[in-house]
Structure 1
Amino acid sequence: MKKIFAAIILTGLMSSCGKKFLETLPVDTVTEDDFYKTPADAYQALVSAYSVLNWDGYGNIALTSEIASDDCFGGGGNSDNGWNQWDKSIKMNDLNSAAWTKYFTGIYRANVFLQNIDKVKFNGDDATKKRYTAEAHFLRAYYYFDLVRMFGNVPLLTKPLEPGNYNIPQTSADSVYSLIASDLKQAAADLAPTPYAGIPKGESGRASKWAAEALLGRVFLYYTGYYNKPDIAGVFTQTDAIAAIEDVINNSGYSLVPKYNNLFRASAESTTAYAGQNNQEGVFTIQYTYLGMGDQNQNNGNRVQVMIGIRGQVLAPYYKGWGAATVNEALYHSFAPGDSRQSASVISVDGEGFTSAYAKGDQAMYTGYFCKKYTPLKDKNADDLGGSFQWDNFDNYMVIRFADVLLMGAELNLAANAGKAQQYLDKVRDRAFHDQAHRITLSSKVQIMDERRLELSLEGQRYWDLLRQGTAVAKQSIDNTSANPQFNVSFRTATNGLFSIPETQINLSNGTLKQNKGWE
């Protein structure tokens, strides 16, 4: 019986917004024997693998991990459950099913592509074949990295499963990270070194050599920290990591947006000052669009935006949302006076003059602070554009920013080249304070971690930065005691920071999958 292949892709936004790469028409369901004939077939299959990046907000690792960190509480409505469970590490059947399905679907699509790419007749255009293959390796590595960070030991799949062979046991995290490093090394080697200024607008959001190298740096730092290893299974060393990050810093053409506020539409000084959806700082940026036009099945929009928006009300310039991930007041007060990142990162109800206008309603875990960077805006909101505020928010998400690359460079060079590490940290702080008077003398990794918390606040990095410093550090930071019991949080070290595997997946595997420790 022929296998059925459905190329499920996104309908993109107009090319002027830099989302032409995803502007591909859907194809009807076809058999694999009829597909993978032409470069156009290969392109559609590749876009199908990319499209999973946009899937469901409940499966978005950035939102999940921010709520699990010390910087946010669960929030949402008083009757909502999932966000509170992530915040307090409470077991809830299938809480993480959206993430599990998302990542294994992405891995499956990348594997199908890699299995079939040799069938395509490129007619001597080896460069295109090489590029497409490299991008598929990048995507598989990307999906596996999020998956293994969340769940630890997971099934390792390098080709599509055959019927009757679905119960694949989990493998060690070491093996998964070895595959991730190998995939990213191949992607970095095979993708052209096109600098930022040379990337066509219609190709924004595609994997690049620079994205692969930057992700290698992130993977190296997390794996070696969390597992206390010197390198990634002998596949990727600290010397390799330094070389990769240095290449991005020196040769990619990416750079810091001059003013931090202008990085994000919600905090930009003006519409014209906003740096744009695919600006010079976004080394890898996930593309979103409102063109789902209210159809939630399209999975085109940035659903995290509606989740973090101020619950049930419009406080101009901000638009309405569901009030998830209320911000811990401690984060707001961690910014030093004069640090422009405070007002760019966090909405302060009192500080922005909304005290009398704000109506708490059924907002749970209200702190007076909301996530700003990706909050939806009243101006050009999804409803006005013909879509739905629930499904069709369209701000792109910068997975890896150049500032993050600089801070990775500072961390990797700290012991071997302190002067270079200091230089990279200075660049980040100078931008934050608009001067050079707030520089600090760099002497420890802790200082870099503190800077990462401020620079990358509410962008999905804090939880993983805590874990890679050890569970004791994570617990000290995440634990929260309050006179109001809804804010009491205790990090459960028994879980080692891993999330629970969805119960339905364990049941479907006939017990082949084993639940993570602390979640049994």
Structure 2
Amino acid sequence: MKSIKIKVGVIAASCIMMFAVSCDDYLEVLPTGQLGQAQLVTLAGIDQSLIAVYSQVNGRNLRMASPSNWVWGSIRGGDANKGTDPGDFNTINPIERFETDAVNVNPAENWRGLYEGIARANNVLRLLIDKGPDVTDADVVRITAQARFLRGHFYFQLKRNFNNTPYVDETVDYKNGIEDVVNNQDLWPFIEADFMYAAENLPSTQSQVGRVNEWAAKTYLAKTYLYQDKFSEAKTLFDAIIADGMTSNGKKYGLVPYYDDVFRGGNENHEESIWAYQSAAGTGSVNNANPEFDLNFPYNTLPGNCCGFFAPSFTFVNSFRTDASGLPLLDNSYNDPGNRVKNDMNITSADPFTPDTGNLDPRVDHTVGRRGLPYLDWEDHKGSVWIRKQDWAGPYSPKKYVYEKSEEAGFLDTSSWTPGYTGINIMILRFADVLLMAAEAEIELGNLEAARGYVNRVRERAMNSALMRDNGNMAANYKVSLYNSAWSDSDMARKAVRFERKLELGMEGHRFYDLVRWDTVQEEMDRYFALEGVMLPAQMAGAKFTDKHKLLPIPQGQIDLLGPDVLIQNPGF
């Protein structure tokens, strides 16, 4: 639940007239609902402005700017397809087929939402310049570090989606003209500088769990280094985070013992959560709830009751197939006919169906809803009647960040059009991600056994799944094991770490960005469309990835405002 209370309200001014007050004095009143500069530069005013920056992390009615990246990272990465039916939110259709163009509204919404966050962060930094007398030097450092962390986050997202975009900080004065909004500068140095300042000046813990701390900043800085192949710099930070890092409320970082508890509302802000967007239900405003997945629940049933978006793909589910020893199929044979996971495609809910009985990593059933198996604590997944249009979306439903029936009272917000808004936090940085990023850095530095150790920590937790515990009796078709043989081949080690990220972080918005930075996106998407195009021909037939779609197009509306010589379009669009 939310630890930083974000409330949008109207501050009303009361005016008491005394007989001696002149007409001029009476006319000099603050506009109703508006804060004056004198109020904003107080410590309270600046802190509330900072909370407005935190608020924008979730996009604030701009769904495509949300940190889950369920479209930009997961759908484009092959974890899922759009789901639902052809007509609903149909502007996502060309995105998942890599046919989007510069006039598509969704990249424009992402751009607007991220720059709104940057504008809010810059506003906080400007207020600090004219700070009031109750703002101490320590307050300036504390608030600046948070604002710069958040600004770094927004620019990091822009960099991954659009490459270089206009860099605007608190010093930009638009009265000077448009020369300050060109996109011919590399954003990475600016992003690094913001995270580095935050890492050096934030406290190791915070009194409010939703606020970022030193370790969140070091994690994001290490991730920024990794994206630039600065493996030594990344390793130094990852080593410190893994050895000494603490959550904002003082818990030592670690893996939640059971994978099934990682995404539960009742267990949020746990030791694996390095930075999460704080959400709350039942506050009187749906703006405080998490709108990330209000469309992404099973169709026509509780939980959510709408709308069947974000349907896990055949390729993604097949990836959880394991061999006889419990290891993944690193040779990419998981899509071969003999290895595909049995599903109920084209089988009605009234017809009998028996789920797959082969070897599977249990994380599949903590991530994906499958016919005939428990959907959290609600009931067994009913198959096609829970899918809005199965021949378009396929047979699966998402599970992560879905509230359980036992959590309904505390984590469901019913103040909007759908019971899909929840009080469940969205983790932007989590410890399992850190372990696997650290493993990548170790491989590139030649430390293969250190990488194996990190991967095995993640896999050992997967072995502790509720699906395999059951009083010590392992379910027959769940099989996952450790890498028990020493790693001596760097190519094999890379495959293992990259595949582990797919399994562990699936449906969390990472996959497409990983494929691009590894330069494997073409072969992976070719493999994806080869199967999905056959299984879902109405939606995926003929779709293909081309190199220009590593980036999103700069929104045409932004180019029209500034001119093509000022804001340069990405190649190919």
Q: Same fold (TM over 0.5)?
A: yes
CA positional deviation for 1:50: 1.0
> Within 1, Cα distance between the matches of 2:157 and 2:187?
11
Cα 1:256–1:87 shift into 2, 3 Å: same
2:64 paired with 1:58: yes
TM-score (ref. length: structure 1): 0.82
Which one of 395, 410, 432 corresponds to residue 462 of structure 2? 432
Q: Report the alpha carbon displacement of residue 364 of structure 1 after superposing the two structures with TM.
A: 6.6
Task: Name the count of aligned residue pairs.
Answer: 469
- After TM superposition, the structure 1 stretch with the greater mean CA deviation from structure 2, 28-37 or 79-88, is 28-37
The aligned amino acid for 2:366 is A
Q: Which residue of 2 aligns with 1:209?
A: 214
Equivalent residues of 1:347, 1:370 under 8 A apart: yes
Tell me which residue corresponds to 1:469. 518
Distance 1:359 1:44, change over 3 A: closer
Q: 1:49 aligns with which of 25, 50, 53?
A: 53
**CA deviation map 1:223-246 (0-9, x unaligned):** 33xxxxxx4xxxxxx332111111
Alpha-carbon distance in structure 2 between the residues aligned to 1:83 and 1:323: 14
Matched, 1:314 2:301: yes
Distance change >3 Å, CA 144–CA 440, structure 1 → 2 = farther
How far residue 39 of structure 1 moved from its aligned partner, in angstroms, is 1.3
Q: Which AA in structure 2 matches 1:22?
A: K
SS at match of 2:428: strand
Cα offset for 1:496?
Answer: 4.6
Separation in structure 2 between the aligned mates of residue 256 and residue 448 of structure 1, nearest angstrom: 17
Q: Which amino acid aligns with 1:57?
A: R
Matching residue of 1:354: 381
> Which of 487, 492, 507 is the aligned partner of 2:545?
492
* Residue 513 of structure 1 pairs with residue 567 of structure 2: yes
The aligned amino acid for 2:494 is K
Alpha-carbon offset, residue 455 of structure 1: 0.5
Equivalent in 155, 159, 182 of residue 170 of structure 1: 182
1:104 paired residue number:
115
Residue 477 of structure 1, CA deviation: 4.6
The question of whether the paired residues in 1 share the 8 Å contact of 2:522 and 2:547 is answered with: no
Distance in 1 between the 2:361 and 2:449 partners? 24
Shift of 1:144: 0.2
Separation (CA, whole Å) in 1 of partners of 2:512 and 2:293: 19
Q: CA deviation at 1:89?
A: 1.6
Deviation at 1:188, TM superposition (A): 0.4
Counterpart of 1:447, as a letter, is A
Opposite residue 428 of structure 1, the aligned amino acid is V
- Match for 2:76 among 68, 83, 87? 68
* Equivalence map 1:311-390=2 (5 Å): 311=299, 313-315=300-302, 318-335=303-320, 336=322, 337=359, 339-352=361-374, 353-355=380-382, 358-362=385-389, 365-378=392-405, 379-380=407-408, 385-389=414-418
Q: Given residue 305 of structure 2, which amino acid in structure 1 is its aligned partner? A: K
Structure 1 residues 474 and 332: CA distance shift in structure 2, 3 A: closer
Which range moves more in the overlay, 394-403 or 116-125? Answer: 116-125
**Secondary structure of the corresponding residue to residue 412 of structure 1:** helix
Q: Which has the larger radius of gyration?
A: 2
Of 171, 187, 190, 1:179 maps to: 190
d(CA) in 2 for partners of 1:243 and 1:398? 23
Residues 159, 165 of structure 2: 8 Å contact kept: yes
Q: Give the residue type in structure 1 aligned to 2:298.
A: I
Distance 1:386 1:26, change over 3 A: closer
Q: Which amino acid aligns with 1:50?
A: Y
- Counterpart CA distance in 1 for 2:6 and 2:55 is 11
- 3-state secondary structure, aligned to 2:393: coil
Superimposed CA distance per residue, residues 332-355 of structure 1 (whole angstroms, 9 cap, x where no aligned partner): 121133533111111113444434
Distance (whole Å) between structure 1 residues aligned to residue 43 and residue 290 of structure 2: 29
Maintained 8 Å contact 1:110/1:139:
yes
Q: Does 1:413 align with 2:412?
A: no
Amino acid at match of 1:89: F
Other-structure match for 1:37: 41
* Aligned mates of 1:389, 1:290 — CA distance in 2: 13
| Counterpart mapping for 1:82-161 below 5 A | 82-91=91-100, 93=103, 94-121=105-132, 125-159=136-170, 160-161=172-173
The Cα of 1:401 is off from its aligned counterpart by: 0.8
8 Å CA contact 1:302–1:394 kept in 2: the answer is yes
The CA RMSD over aligned residues, in Å, is 2.7
Write the distance in 2 (CA, Å) between the matches of 1:364 and 1:498.
29
Q: Is the 8 A contact 2:282 2:412 kept in 1?
A: no
Give the superposition deviation at 1:215.
Answer: 1.0
1:199-348 alignment runs, 5 A limit? 199-200=206-207, 203-224=208-229, 231=230, 238-252=231-245, 253-265=252-264, 276-291=267-282, 293=284, 298=287, 300-311=288-299, 313-315=300-302, 318-335=303-320, 336=322, 337=359, 339-348=361-370
Q: In the alignment, is the contact (CA less than 8 A) between 1:319 and 1:377 conserved in 2?
A: no
Which SS does the other structure have where 2:276 is aligned? strand
Distance 1:375 1:90, change over 3 A: farther
1:403 to 407, 432, 439: 432
Secondary structure at 1:468 match in 2: helix
CA contact (8 A) 1:303 1:393 kept: yes
Post-superposition shift, 1:106?
0.6
Alignment of 1:435-450 (within 5 A): 437-441=481-485, 442=487, 443=489, 444-450=493-499
1:479 aligns with 2:529: yes
Report the TM-score when normalising by structure 2: 0.75
Compared CA separation, residues 136 and 380, structure 1 to 2 (3 A): same
Question: One-letter code of the match for 1:345?
Answer: T
In structure 2, distance between residues paired with 1:107 and 1:214:
20
Q: Is the CA contact 1:192–1:209 (under 8 Å) kept in the aligned structure 2? A: yes
Any conservation in 2 of the 1:326–1:369 contact (CA below 8 Å)?
Answer: yes
Gaps of 5+ in 2: 12-32, 246-251, 323-358, 375-379, 466-479
Q: 1:288-329 CA distances to partner (integer Å, 9 max, x unpaired)?
A: 22346465xx3x332222121112x115xx332222221112
The 1:478–1:364 alpha-carbon spacing in structure 2 relative to 1, beyond 3 Å, is same
Q: Residues of 1 paired with 2:146 and 2:189: CA distance?
A: 18
Question: How many angstroms apart in 1 are the aligned matches of 2:266 and 2:283?
Answer: 25
